Each structure stands twice: as C-alpha cells, then as structure tokens.
Amino acid sequence: MSILANKDTRAVIIGGIAGLNAAKRMAQFDFLVNRPLTVQAFVYPPEEGQQKEIYRGGELNNVTVYGSLEHAIAENPQINTALIYIGASRAFQSAKEALDAKGIKLVTMITEGVPEKDAKALRKYALEQGKIFNGPSSIGIMTAGECRLGVIGGEFKNLKLCNLYRPGSFGVITKSGGLSNEAMWLCAQNGDGITSAVAIGGDAYPGTDFVTYLQMFENDPETKAVVIIGEVGGTLEEEAAEWFGQEKRRIKLIASIGGTCQDVLPQGMKFGHAGAKEGKKGLGSARSKINALREAGAIVPDTFGGLSKAIKQVYLELQASGVIKPEPELDEKLLPVLPPSVQEIMKQGEVIVEPLIRTTISDDRGEEPRYVGYAASELCEKGYGIEDVIGLLWNKKLPSKEESEIIKRIIMISADHGPAVSGAFGSIIAACAGIDLPQAVSAGMTMIGPRFGGAVTNAGKYFKYGVKEYPNDIPGFLNWMKENVGPVPGIGHRVKSVKNPDKRVKYLVEYVTKQTTLHSPCLKYALEVEKVTTAKKDNLILNVDGTIGCILVDLDFPEYSLNGFFVLARTIGMIGHWIDQNNQNARLIRLYDYLINYAVKEEREVPEKK
Amino acid sequence: MAKILEGPAMKLFNKWGIPVPNYVVIMDPDRLAQLGEANKWLRESKLVVKAHEAIGGRYKLGLVKLGLNLDGALEAAKEMIGREIGTSVVRQVIVAEMLDHDEEYYLSIAGNRDGSELLLSNKGGVDIEENWDTVKRLFIPLDETPSIERITEVAIDAGFIGEIAERVAKIASRLILCFDNEDAQSIEINPLVIRKSDMRFAALDAVMNVDWDARFRHADWDFKPVSEIGRPFTEAEQQIMDIDARIKGSVKLVEVPGGDIALLTAGGGASVFYSDAVVARGGSIANYAEYSGDPPDWAVEALTETICRLPHIRHIIVGGAIANFTDVKATFSGIINGFRESKSKGYLENVKIWVRRGGPNENQGLAAMKKLQEEGFDIHVYDRSMPMTDIVDLALNS
C-alpha cells in the first residue's frame, strides 16, 4: 500500500529536456522494481512527433512527444498522472490543462519560480476538481517498490541504499526536495524504509499541505509513522500539529522544522525557500511550529541531526509493540544491476571494442590538445610557430629552425596571387553572390587541381623519382616522363619565361641554396632539368609548384602531403578576398555579354513533341 | 518576495487610480532645481525629502527632512545624496509634496493561501501598531472582487463615517485592483490622509511587495526589487546574485557580520538546517549560503572563494543532504578549486573545514575532497552515514 503513486500510475511529462532527464531516472526505478515504464508520453510542442529514447535497464523504449496534452491522452488513455517540467511562464496553463484532463487525478510540478497567484489558483482549481495539485517546486513523489514520479531518490545506487525497491513503514512529507531524499535515507538507515515520500515544495503557497498527506498516510495501513520536514513561514506545520492533536492518530509523527536560527539573526534577515518567511508577530516562526508539534505529541528533535535517533527510537518501539514485523533480510545481490554503458565497461577494461578509426598525430582527451605528444600551449610558450605545428601534424616531426623558416616562407609566398586566378576568382564570385565564408572559400578551393596549384604533389613525386632512377641522366628522365606521364609537372608557365623569370621561384631557390644549409638534391635536379627544357622552349621554366614540391621533398615531407601547402597557403588569400568583398559590400556579378562568345544556334521554333 | 521602493510603488498607485501626492525621484540635486522651474507645486508647497533607498530607520539617521521649501529641499538633497550609511550609499532621494491634514488612516492588503485580506483602520500613522485592535479585516477569496458596498460596510465598521467611508471604500477597491493586477504580495498605505485644502485623499507612504517571479508578465516593471535582508546588499552578495541570474541552478549568499562559522551548504532546505544547528549549539554563523539545482562548477567555485574571504572565520561547513540530481563530484570540484585558489592567496589559515554530503557521484566527490588533506588543508570529510548536521557538533567541539 502507499499514497499518491502506485503500480498503476502511468504518467505524461509536460516539458523538454529536464522532463526527459526525469523520465530516464524514472525508468531506472521501473527497472529496479520490474514494472512497466511509468512515463507513457511527453508533451512538448517544439519537439512534436519526435521519439525519445528511454532505457529501462537494457531495454530500449521509444516514447512519443506530442504537441498537446489532448493528443497525448487520446493515444494513451491509460495516463492518470501529469508531471509538469515546463518553464514558469507556461506552467500555469499546462497544469490547468492537466487538471482539466478527465483521466488525470494527480498533477505534480517541479517548476520553480511560479508566480504565487498562479500557484494559489491551481490549488483552488484542483480542490474544486477533487484532484491533487502537488508543487510547484516539488522534486517529486516516491512510493517504494511501486512508482517514482520525478527525480526524487537521485541516482540508481541511492535507490538501493534507501531500500526503495520494497516498502517500509515510514511515510515522508517534506517541503524541500533535497531533504526528501535525506529523509528517505534516514528511514532506511534507522528503520525499515518508506512507504511513500512526497515533496510538497518550498514555495509560499504550495498546492497541497502536510495535512492532506498526513490524512492519506493515516488511511494507509502499511504506514506506521510519518516523518515531516517543515520550515519557517506559513502555517502548514501548525495545521499539521492541529490535525495530529485533534484526535488519537494511528500513525506516529516525527518532525523537524528549519529556521530556528532566524530568532537570533538581525531583524528582517531572511533566507531559504521562497515560502520560508516569518510573518508579523512571530506567525509561522520555526519555534512556534516546533512548540505546536511537540504539544500535539509529535517527536521533534532539536537539530536535524537528531532525526536519526528519533526515527530509530520510533522504529524500535513499533517493533517492540508488534506494529512493525521484522523485515526478512533481503539479499541485495539479488537486486537488478543497472546495465553499464559501453564507456563505463571500457573504462574498467572488461570488453574489447574494435576501434573505428586510428590517429597517430593528435590527442584531445587531456586538458588541452597534444600534437604528436606535445601540448599546444607548451609549443607556444617555447617559441614554436605555425610552421612547426605543420611539421608535427603533417610529418610528425618538429622541423629545425632552418626548416621551419623555409616552410614559413613557402606559405608566405604562396598565400595569394591576386584576384584573377581561378581560386581567388571562385571565392570572389561566391562572396559577391552572398555566400558565407566557409562555402565561398570552398568554392575557390575546388579550383585547385591539375591546372591550378595542384601540381606540387606530382612535381615533387616525379622529380624525386628522377633523382632516384635517373640521377645523372636528365634526357633519360625526360624521355621516361614523355612515355609514361606526359608534360613534366612543375615545368612550364603560361606567362613567365627565361627572360621574364618568376620572381618567387628565383627568391625561393636562392634562399634555400644560398642562405640555408639544407641538403637539396631534388631542387638541384629540377634546376638541371630546367636547363634542358628551357633550351627547347623559353617558357619551359621550373615554376613555383615545381620549386615548392622539390623543396618540400628535400624537407622530407611525404609526397602526398605536398598539395596541402598550396591549399593551406592559398586559403589565407581566399579568406582575405572573401573578407575584402564583404567589406566593400560587393554586389552580385555576372559576365558581360561582350565577354562571351555566344556560339549558338539561330533562334528557331520548338517542334511538336513526338 | 520583492520589496519595491516608494517611487515605483507610487507610480503603480497612479496607474491604478490611487491618489498620491506630487513627487519626484532624483539622483542629482541640480535636477531638482530644474524641476522646480518646471513644476509649480515644488515652488509653492511645503516639501518632504527622503532618502530613496532600502535603509531602515531613515528618520533617526536624518534621512527624512520635513517642512522644507524648494531651497531647503535642495539643501537636504545635497546633504543626503552620497552619504554613506554602513556599507551602503544614498544615491537617490524622493521629494514629495507635504499635505496639510488632520486624520491619518491605515489601509493595507496582503495575500494568503486562499486569497487576500484587506485591512482598514481610521487610526493610522506611526502608532498603528498600538492601535492594532482598531483594524478591521475583509477576507477576499481568490478570483473574487468585493463590491464597494461591502467594503463600505467594513469601513463603517472601522469607524469611518458617511461620505468618508464611501470614499475610503473606493480607494480600497482600487487598491484591490492594483494588488490583483500587479502580482502584489502586500501593499500598505500608512498614512492615508485627506488634504485640508481641497479635501482630496492621498497615500502619503507606500510599502509594497511584488512577486518577482511574475515579472515575465509585467513589461512596465522598470524597477528592481530592493534587498530583503533589512539592509542593502554587499558587494560580495551582489556578485553572487549576478552569477545566480546567469546560471542553471542557483547560488546564494547572505553575509552575517560578526560570525565565525562559515556555511558552504547545498540545498534550500538543508542550508537552513545547518544554520539552525550552528545557532542551536551556541555558535554564530558568518553567512548563509546555498547552492542547488546542479549549478555549474565555476559558480560554486566563485561562491567558495567569496566565503573563504569572510573575515575571522574559524570553520567552514561544507554540508548538504543526499542530493537528488546535483552532481557531487562536479560541484565539489568547484569547491576544491575555490579552496586551492583561496589558500594560494593566503586565506584559510587556521580554518577547519567540515564536509558531509551524498548524492550522484558522491564517492568520487568525497574522495577528491579528502585528498585536500595531502595539500595541507585542515579538512574533515564524512559521507552519508554521518547524520547531516552532526558535522556542526564536531566543528564546535573541536
């Protein structure tokens, strides 16, 4: 037996993410006591039609989110309880709808900060309908072994520690949510646990009161004693005392009242729950409540810590008088164990899972990212630069000072080449069409290929091949290229020639060969090749792709990484062009007719379709 | 509960047709001179100047000056604005018209569980407490509005005669409207007077509490509630309130000067019991604090640092019940960081820390807290098997 919630309770949760979390906790309890899912539906218009995944132990359930309570109940007529988890501004309307719903007998609300006027009106409305409105600010209702409404009881482990898998003999009524859990624990530790526990919330005007539930507990034969935890403010505790003193009650009453400290605090200094406010002339003071309860025959220890002893004492007395039969010991090992998640088992090393991907360069599991083991901030602190990060992430090696300097210069030199080239132009057209940065830059990026900027990799690859296979035989190499590949990647320029050299190439070659000690066999080989090709045709010079490719091979970067340098460098330029166009508020552009040769058919009539 | 100052309360009175004297709220005395040029009543009436702040006992502190002309009011305003009273500073004054009157009446309304109660007395003024037995009451059930006739009956019962009773009833009915529509919790008009010159009613003082939780439906509430703790908030309290307004869950702080036992407690219910336990055992608390609703660790860390800076503390009680959903490990990591930070700044010397807590991830949280012993903290950690407030006994007996 129990009050408020039992095996037959079927609930709808009105609200979003907080409600979903509560439903998950509730399903853990359902699993513990082996009952069907308590939560049958959600109502949350923004997510109408979605399914929420709820695990009852290892069993996955999908619970539907409805756009209206009406719809939820029409499809789930078994629902008899509503939990309100929606924001304070909409809580009143939701609760009222729930109280209007025919099958719903109990509405409990966790929402905090509900206006007093709304709470008062809901209480009145529920009374008129002969229903229970519990809350606002209620953590929920727990009936041991039968039903959990809300997150009351906390984590799964705690449900077991508090013996909530089977009924005890104590009822619990608290204003505070945290203390409802504490009280359940005290009843388990010092007695045989609870029948039901209910948090009525700490607001000034809760929908229910101690007396409502005391009467229910009095009528519940399994409940032998009730623990109430109240606090300064209002008169609900005084009313409980009055009820208890009115006539001989079957249940024992143990109480603790918070707020005695306010007697000694400076006038007007108030804190705690919204309802914890003493009225004029000591009305609702903790002291007056304690006195009233003691006079009515309740046991009220002088501090909260004294509750343990009080509960134990009542429990032993009830046992001695035979009211409570000794509980047969239950082997806790027989209780179900919540299936752990994969992550948890992995942590304990009890299962092997084939990894989906492998990484050898980067690790984000610590406090900050580590590149091939080095903490990013430490690299910054020790004076490393972006070139070194490239060396680490692309080649897993920290370059030397000289090497990083070369990498840096390659990137600087390749960062942009004006608006006319395919990449920049692509980005500019996109920017002018109002496309956002990542997409516009990608538009430029898609241009990088065999004819534009994409020759670095192949240049590096084939010159490296030449160094290896035709070290002293340039004609042999060119012959092999002609037969197997075609034009040599990295050789040739549309505009530049021997007489009109590419300054970038000149600069890079001079820098690497004259100002550094880099061993550069590939670059030197390419320059030898250039001598042969330019002898044939003036514009068959070593171009910038070829130069960069060779230098990077000499720097020991893997062949297939080489295009990355151009991609990286040119991204800087393309982002710049996108920003530039946006700064100028550039308009949509289209080609002028005179830039197009319309080599098309004359106008003619469309024939009838056959 | 949110108390609002006289100025905003009078503005709401005006809105609902409750007569008030002419008044202005100013921050700068020069503004009063300009207003004087624009408003005849400022030049021609006797004036009262009051500090427009949440400071108790203003009269005794010289923060209320009566019977002034405009020059006198200007002088008084200059004198009051910028004055420091304890930890607070007078920033605004309200300058109102003084009304020549004979009788002072009392009119108030306050909410209760089933509706509200209207209180009326024809013996208002400063002695109302002594004349409390003259107060007549009218219970107004939720969603009901009493007729003018009904209120008039109560007014007559309270000693108002003839036309005055009817007029008082009319003002009371507007007060009820204001109360209902402005989500008020209580409104007190003391005194309500009749101006001799034209026999018109006016509310000379307004004490009003509104339900701050209802602010979402009051677009015209352009005021902030004043401190509910009988004094303006301290800087530290204000900081914690600012954090509280930004986060999921909540953190709260009230300083209690002179105490030596600091509270760093969890949950609205449990925190009060910890304060009680300290007081019951003869100790004195240095603050009230509360974190609840699974607040982020950084917010708890900020609260911790603030508490560690409280002067003259000897113990810190890190107490709490067995949480339902507040993550003990996460919130404790905030507390631990706060402790470390404070210690590195030289706080927490000779301070004993007492911990008792349960809830999600309690084992990890408590273990991490216990490890602080290795860093030289004088910290005593207990789990759920320790009765909740018994760490207070341990602290006070140590």
State the DSSP H helix or E strand holding residue A368, giving kind and residue range, or none if neither: none
Options A273, A417, A493, A577, the catalytic residue: A273
CB-based contact A154 B56, cutoff 8 Å? no
Which residue of B lies nearest to A120 if distances are taken between CA atoms? B113
CA dist A166 and A160 (Å) reads: 9
Residue pair A399/A391 in contact by the 8 Å Cβ criterion: yes
Contacts of A231 in chain B (CB under 8 A): 269, 272
Contacts of B185 in chain A (CB under 8 A): 116
* Residue A400 φ then ψ, to 5°: -75, 170
CB-based contact A185 B1, cutoff 8 Å? no
Contacts of B56 in chain A (CB under 8 A): 267-268
CA dist A124 and B113 (Å) reads: 9
**Residue A588: predicted pLDDT:** 95
CA dist A11 and A85 (Å) reads: 12
**Residue A366: predicted pLDDT:** 87
Contacts of A182 in chain B (CB under 8 A): 270, 321-322, 358, 388
Of B254, B279, B360, the CB nearest to A154: B360
Q: What is the pLDDT of residues A324-347, one digit of tens each?
A: 987 777 777 788 998 888 888 887
Asked if A185 has any chain B CB less than 8 Å from its own CB, the reply is yes
Which residue of A lies nearest to B249 if distances are taken between CA atoms? A112
CB-based contact B272 A154, cutoff 8 Å? no
Q: Which two tokens stand for residue B44?
A: 């021609």
AA letter at B341? E
How far away is chain B from the Cα of A459, in angstroms, using its nearest Cα? 54
AA letter at B208? M
**Residue A452: predicted pLDDT:** 86
Residues 88-117 of A with CB under 8 A from B: 88-89, 112-117
In the sheet that holds B315-322, the strands lie side by side as B261-263, B315-322, B352-358, B378-382
CB-based contact A268 B229, cutoff 8 Å? yes
**Residue B198: predicted pLDDT:** 87
CB-based contact B230 A267, cutoff 8 Å? yes
Q: Which of B317, B314, B373 is nearest to B347 (CA)?
A: B314
Of B273, B275, B387, the CB nearest to A308: B387
How far away is chain A from the Cα of B75, in angstroms, using its nearest Cα? 32
Of B142, B268, B288, the CB nearest to A124: B142
**Residue B226: predicted pLDDT:** 82
Residue pair B190/B98 in contact by the 8 Å Cβ criterion: no
Q: What is the pLDDT of residues B111-158, one digit of tens each?
A: 999 999 999 999 998 888 888 899 999 999 998 999 999 999 999 999
Residue pair A371/A393 in contact by the 8 Å Cβ criterion: yes
**Residue A263: predicted pLDDT:** 77
Asked if A352 has any chain B CB less than 8 Å from its own CB, the reply is no
Predicted confidence band of residue B61 (pLDDT cuts 50, 70, 90): confident
- DSSP E strands in chain B: the ranges are 2-4, 23-26, 47-51, 64-68, 84-85, 88-89, 93-97, 104-112, 115-121, 136-141, 184-194, 201-203, 206-210, 250-255, 261-263, 287-292, 315-322, 352-358, 378-382
CB-based contact B273 A258, cutoff 8 Å? yes
Q: Which two tokens stand for residue B96?
A: 């109102």
Contacts of A121 in chain B (CB under 8 A): 142-143
Specify the pairing of strand B88-89 against strand B378-382: unpaired
Contacts of A306 in chain B (CB under 8 A): 387
Residues 58-87 of A with CB under 8 A from B: none
Residue pair A335/A34 in contact by the 8 Å Cβ criterion: no
How many other CB atoms are there within 10 angstroms of residue B350's CB atom? 7
Specify the pairing of strand B315-322 against strand B352-358: parallel
> What residues have CB less than 8 Å from B285, skipping those under 6 apart?
A261, B256, B259, B261, B262, B263, B275, B278, B279
AA letter at A569? A
Which residue of A lies nearest to B110 if distances are taken between CA atoms? A279
Of B252, B270, B393, the CB nearest to A178: B270
CB-based contact A176 B270, cutoff 8 Å? yes
Interchain CB contacts (distance < 8 Å): A and B: 192
CB-based contact B216 A88, cutoff 8 Å? yes
Asked if A17 has any chain B CB less than 8 Å from its own CB, the reply is no
Which residue of A lies nearest to B251 if distances are taken between CA atoms? A272
Cα B161 off chain centre by: 37
How far away is chain A from the Cα of B69, in angstroms, using its nearest Cα? 35
How far away is chain B from the Cα of A181, in angstroms, using its nearest Cα? 6
CA dist A194 and A555 (Å) reads: 74
User: pTM of the predicted model, to two decimals?
Assistant: 0.80
How many other CB atoms are there within 10 angstroms of residue A496's CB atom? 18
CA dist A597 and A99 (Å) reads: 75
DSSP A511: I
Q: Give the 3-state secondary structure of residue A105.
A: coil
Of A151, A181, A266, the CB nearest to B321: A181
Contacts of B87 in chain A (CB under 8 A): none
Contacts of B325 in chain A (CB under 8 A): 21, 25, 151, 154
**Residue B233: predicted pLDDT:** 80
Dihedral (C-alpha) B62, B66, B68, B73: value to the nearest 10 degrees?
40
CB-based contact B273 A303, cutoff 8 Å? yes
Contacts of A91 in chain B (CB under 8 A): none
> What residues have CB less than 8 Å from A208, skipping those under 6 apart?
A123, A132, A133, A134, A200
**Residue B60: predicted pLDDT:** 84
Of A180, A258, A305, the CB nearest to B272: A258
Asked if A313 has any chain B CB less than 8 Å from its own CB, the reply is no
In the sheet that holds A370-371, the strands lie side by side as A362-363, A370-371, A374-375
In chain B, what percentage of residues exceed pLDDT 90? 84
Those residues of chain A that have pLDDT short of 70 are 1, 266-283
Q: Is A519 one of the catalytic residues?
A: no
Residue of B117, B324, B392 to mutate for A, most A C-beta atoms under 10 A: B324
How far away is chain B from the Cα of A382, in angstroms, using its nearest Cα? 26
CB-based contact B277 A152, cutoff 8 Å? no
Q: Which two tokens stand for residue B236?
A: 């530290």
CB-based contact A120 B111, cutoff 8 Å? yes
